[in-house]
Chain A
Amino acid sequence: NAGVTQTPKFQVLKTGQSMTLQCAQDMNHNSMYWYRQDPGMGLRLIYYSASEGTTDKGEVPNGYNVSRLNKREFSLRLESAAPSQTSVYFCASRDRKGAIYGYTFGSGTRLTVV
């Protein structure tokens, strides 16, 4: 049982390049999330998808877009990468029925924009 799988694990981009971070979960969870983690800032929510077919902005959505491709997959796209987007990105999922339970996180994508 893989849980939440993120690809790639590491990426270096030049300023202005675009890329898509992939996330897939095999737990049949309804809700999926993208967070970024920066030193001293904790985890900040970028976008989330409460259920298949819906997406909503989180705390720091600027510069990002998302796609909930199906119930399993939730991708994060950087259209024109900026150095301020250097961060560690985490995807997470949660079952709506388990509202009192927390997220299951992936192992992260470490992105550097130069």
Chain B
Amino acid sequence: GQQLNQSPQSMFIQEGEDVSMNCTSSSIFNTWLWYKQEPGEGPVLLIALYKAGELTSNGRLTAQFGITRKDSFLNISASIPSDVGIYFCAGPSGTYKYIFGTGTRLKVLA
């Protein structure tokens, strides 16, 4: 079945550093989604990507839809303490469903 592999699994970074994470799929996607989950809350959609090569920003966050359509990347610039959380990638699995990656846990040291 479909699998989404995210890396790294966790990151400890200093405030002000840039962050990069990625997600790879065993199959081709036509949509990539990136979510953030803060402690004790449900995931919240950050960025949606709809075509290969697309680069989309949301404030300090930038995500890219890989050319092969089997990968996506999320970058956070100049990290701040409130960036802490788990970042999930997701892609469509059939008409009505999404499959999620295992998440990248980000911790920011002030």
Other-chain contact of B97, A48, A96, A101 (Cβ < 8 Å): A48
Q: Is the interface of B mostly helix, strand, loop or mixed?
A: loop
Please state if A102 and B42 are interface contacts (CB–CB under 8 Å).
Answer: no
Name the residue on B nearest A42 (C-beta): B102
Please state if B98 and A103 are interface contacts (CB–CB under 8 Å).
Answer: yes
Say yes or no: is B28 at the interface (Cβ < 8 Å to chain A): no
Say yes or no: is A74 at the interface (Cβ < 8 Å to chain B): no
Please state if B42 and A90 are interface contacts (CB–CB under 8 Å).
Answer: yes
Task: Tell me, rounded to whole Å, the shortest Cβ–Cβ distance linking A90 to chain B.
Answer: 5
Please state if A102 and B97 are interface contacts (CB–CB under 8 Å).
Answer: no
Say yes or no: is A50 at the interface (Cβ < 8 Å to chain B): yes
Please state if A102 and B98 are interface contacts (CB–CB under 8 Å).
Answer: yes
Given contacts A41-B102, A43-B100, A108 and B41 within 8 Å (CB-CB): yes
Please state if A107 and B88 are interface contacts (CB–CB under 8 Å).
Answer: no
Please state if A45 and B48 are interface contacts (CB–CB under 8 Å).
Answer: no
Name the residue on A nearest B31 (C-beta): A100
Residues in B with CB closer than 8 Å to A4 are 42
Given contacts A50-B96, A90-B42, A107-B42, A42 and B101 within 8 Å (CB-CB): yes
Say yes or no: is B90 at the interface (Cβ < 8 Å to chain A): yes
Please state if B98 and A42 are interface contacts (CB–CB under 8 Å).
Answer: no
In the complex, A103 Cα to B35 Cα: how many Å?
Answer: 10
Task: Tell me, rounded to whole Å, the shortest Cβ–Cβ distance linking B10 to chain A.
Answer: 10
Q: Kindly name the residue among B96, B98, B103 whose own CB sees the greatest number of chain A CB atoms within 10 A.
A: B96
Residues in B with CB closer than 8 Å to A53 are none
Say yes or no: is B44 at the interface (Cβ < 8 Å to chain A): yes
In the complex, A100 Cα to B11 Cα: how many Å?
Answer: 30
Residues in A with CB closer than 8 Å to B31 are 100
Please state if A108 and B42 are interface contacts (CB–CB under 8 Å).
Answer: yes
Known: A101-B48, A102-B45, A107-B42. 16 other contacts (CB 8 A): A4-B42, A41-B102, A43-B88, A45-B97, A45-B99, A58-B97, A90-B42, A99-B95, A100-B31, A101-B45, A102-B35, A103-B45, A107-B40, A108-B40, A108-B41, A108-B42
